[in-house]
Amino acid sequence: MKKLLVILLACVMLASMTGIAAAEDKVVNIGVTSTIATLNPMAMDATEIVKYATSLVFLPLLEADSELNFVPQLAEDITTEDNLNFTIKLREDAAWSDGTPVTAQDVEFTLILSADPQCANISLAMYSVVGVSDDGLIEANAPSIEGVQVVDEKTLTVATKYPTALSTFKNNFGRYMLVLPKHVLQDVPRDQLLTYAWFNSPDVISGPYFINDFDLQHYVHYVANENYFQGAPKIKYLNINVVAPAQMLAGIRSGEIDLVQQTMGAIPIEDYDAIKALGGVRSVSGSLMTNELVFINVEKVPDVRIRQALLYGMDRATMQQTLLGDGGELVDGFLVSASPYYSRELGLTAYDAEKAAELVKEAKADGASTELTWYVSSEESVWGNAVQYFAAMYEEIGLKINIHTLDLANLMEVVSNGEHDILSVEYTLMPADPYTDIAWLIGGQSLWTGYTSPETDEALALCQSLTDEEGIAAQYLVINRAVQRDVPVISGWVIGKLGVVSDRLVNANPDVFGTFVNVHEWDVR
């Protein structure tokens, strides 16, 4: 026994000397700068912070990796032969934490719930599915959807009303639908699901981590799912901690933050150089994909001349050079140069204060309001400074801008209530599938802009039915020209955001996409 004790003590000392933590002691802290609106997949919005925080518990069918490939999660793949009928094939090994297989019935159940008016998830494009109304709903408590058919335990098909590009189907339904366990939730009244307490600490999950504790304003603490079907996570405890942007540098320097992912944590641009110079961490510059989009509610700002004045009166080039230096890029419309559908043919609207002033004068003479409210994210200090500058310039051309600064969760509340005249927030469109976000932002009943037109609707439809990249790019050019003309959206600037990972963290690589696909393989030195 004495010899055994000596050996055990030696092992502990060796582990301490080499920095290898015992499995039960391994903790990783992820720094984010947004509060987390919900951990309930039924109430999930389109923000990346909610998606990733929730999908650690309930996996999507597919996820995008850093190369923008769709990689398996619960599904082995999604295929189609005609862009109308899609086959979802689940992984044979996909299982819930209680050992029950993940089945096609679980996916069907989740799709039904997502369209039931009592608990519908408006962030999914359920309106495109056969048997679902154009507003994305079915009858309350309906047992099935016409366009969703179970083939066998691991296979189901989904039929859409109109052609849908495979990349769009994979991005929307593959990445943003988090599958729920039918055998656990099928008897819960659907009108209770949006507030069902079980989601606060679910005991049957498909993802690598259980929720251990949370305060959505400050943190979510997770503990490893030892029965995770892809392998038990090497990190026992994973924490998402909400940090003020101004405190990110201090947290990274002190080692309190192990990882910052580009779309969840907004490191202030003015701290980039200091972070890149730190020892013990690796900084990762994301691709130029994050667009500072300015959304104009056309129902509250109906005069196109006022919207055009906002575009012509925004000196983006000066602001980019002053605040970003050589970083970032300027574009009109939605698409950044990293997208395969980007076209330089669109050109860039130049700053023209004289033209902006004339447009305001004409619109005001016809009774248009020249006082507007602009909501800005509190996480984006540099952009917030730019907005203050723009507001001063707008005053010179006859527009009065009232600025309100809110955190992301409250900004989303403003959008859902349609309270904004103008709203700006960083937005990362999936380069391989810009359709999903564009249709969400300007199609149909968009709460972000209230804008739609037959021209853009037709072009969006063609983006889904065409198969050649050149033809699809031509349709996105039509859409962006309409946006440039009618101005429901302005692109302020495009940046490549900074991610950070501690040297103690192994197998983790923060990127705009794909950061968490291998989270169960992360380890610490």
Q: 186-244, pLDDT tens digit by residue? A: 999 999 999 999 999 999 999 999 999 999 999 999 999 999 999 999 999 999 999 99
334 is in which domain, residue-wise?
290-495
Domain boundary among 141, 170, 195: 195
Residue type, 228: Y
Q: Three-state DSSP class for 50?
A: helix
Nearest to 369 by CA among 360, 377, 378: 360
Task: Answer positive or negative: Cα dihedral of 43, 45, 49, 55.
Answer: positive
Please provide the average confidence, as pLDDT, over all residues in the chain: 92
Residues 297 and 440 occupy one common structural domain = yes
- Distances in Å between the Cα of 298 and the Cα atoms of 293, 334, 370, 423, 493 are 15, 17, 14, 12, 21
Placement of tokens 């809110």 in the chain: 406
**How many structural domains are present in the chain?**
3
pLDDT at 111: 98
Parts of the chain with a pLDDT under 70: 1-24, 444-445
Residue 3 within a domain: no
| Calpha distance 443→460 (Å, rounded) | 9
pLDDT at 24: 65
Residues 410 and 487 occupy one common structural domain = yes
| Calpha distance 416→402 (Å, rounded) | 20
Residue 344 burial class via C-beta count within 10 angstroms: exposed 0-12, middle 13-18, buried 19 and up: exposed
Placement of tokens 């050589």 in the chain: 326
Domain boundary among 195, 223, 244: 195
Residues 437 and 314 occupy one common structural domain = yes
SS3 sequence, 307-352? HHHHHHCCCHHHHHHHHHCCCCECCCCCCCCCCCCCCHHHCCCCCC
Contact 115, 101 (CB under 8 A): no
Residues 311 and 263 occupy one common structural domain = no
Angle subtended at Cα 515 by Cα 205 and Cα 53, rounded to the nearest 5 degrees: 40
CATH of the domain at 471: 3.10.105.10
Residues 164 and 239 occupy one common structural domain = no
CATH of the domain at 274: 3.40.190.10
pLDDT at 10: 40
How many Cα atoms are found within 13 Å in the side-chain-facing hemisphere of 343? 17
pTM, two decimal places: 0.84
CATH of the domain at 118: 3.90.76.10
Residues 485 and 339 occupy one common structural domain = yes
pLDDT at 323: 86
Residues 233 and 339 occupy one common structural domain = no
Residues 319 and 348 occupy one common structural domain = yes
Residue 91 within a domain: yes
In DSSP notation, 395-412 reads HHTT-EEEEEEE-HHHHH
